[in-house]
Amino acid sequence: MNEIRIATRKSRLALWQSEYVAEALTATHPELSVDLLPMSTRGDEVLDRSLAEIGGKGLFLKELEKALIDGRADLAVHSLKDVPAESPQGLVLAAVMPRADWADLWLSRDGQLPQDLPEGSRVGTSSLRRQSQLLRRFPHLQVEPIRGNVETRLGKMRSGEVSAVILAAAGIDRLGIDLHHRTPLQPPDFLPAPGQGVIVIQCREDDRQTRARLEALHCPLTGAQVSAERAVVAELGGDCRMPLAALAEVSGDRIRLRARLASPNGQDCLDVDLQGAKAQSESLGRQAGQELLERGGMRILSQL
């Protein structure tokens, strides 16, 4: 069959990502006809409560995964940082696209940096990972939970509801949003979410034809990076809501993995920094997760 249906969320960023995958598919397989199946998810609909309260980031995936399982769609396209460590039975993460900018961005109206803001200034983010790292470095600030799409969050900053927001650079760049004041939050003070900046393609495990078509889209370098980062998540229990940061960087046949688990207020923080063979990236990630647990990770996780 030469028709491919892609399940996608309806947000502008999700549609951009799915159209990007569709274009890559038709470039490598010109005979294909690719259609998008835009869907609304519970994660998109319930904005007055935190993701932790309503079931976690996996709520952005459930409706899309159901469309795969019941055959309404052949593929689903996700931001990998939103995908739990384990896929539902019968589904597989078949390909990761080349990684975009993995950094978080500090965004403010007038270019004020975190250290410039007065005591008690409100910074918008609903990510425990971003919150914990921000408060660890700048405890004089106050975190204001905000949800919604990229435009909604930027609107809260521009209106003065919050002094600044923290958003992923990849999303800003993909949407082509031109911002005068953008400051990357970089290591060692800030690490990204596992898989940040990566688009992943999910399909049915037994759909051999689709999986074969996706092979041309898979980026082995990105695959090694996210294999290490996501193995840390899996070792800690597979919950992408936890305040866990991880960044894997490849140089030749070697890989360096930095991971951080911190309490929501940033005061209790554990770091690991490991290196190993790129071919053993998943094992390195599991080792990092084990070290975090051995050094008191459950103490932090029990606070959530």
CA gap 5, 156 in Å, rounded: 35
Please list the alpha-helical segments (H only) found in the chain. 12-28, 42-45, 51-54, 62-69, 128-137, 150-158, 169-174, 208-214, 220-235, 281-292, 298-301
Beta-carbon-side half-sphere exposure of residue 3 (alpha carbons within 13 Å): 7
Closest by CA to 66, choosing from 44, 90, 82, 45, is 90
* Coil, strand or helix at 268: coil
Closest by CA to 259, choosing from 303, 181, 195, is 195
Phi, psi at 25, each rounded to 5°: -65, -45
β-bridge mates for residue 167, sequence order: 105
> Which of 44, 74, 82, 104 is flagged as catalytic?
82
Q: Mark whether 253 is an active-site residue.
A: no
Identity at 14, one-letter amino acid code = A
Catalytic residues: 82
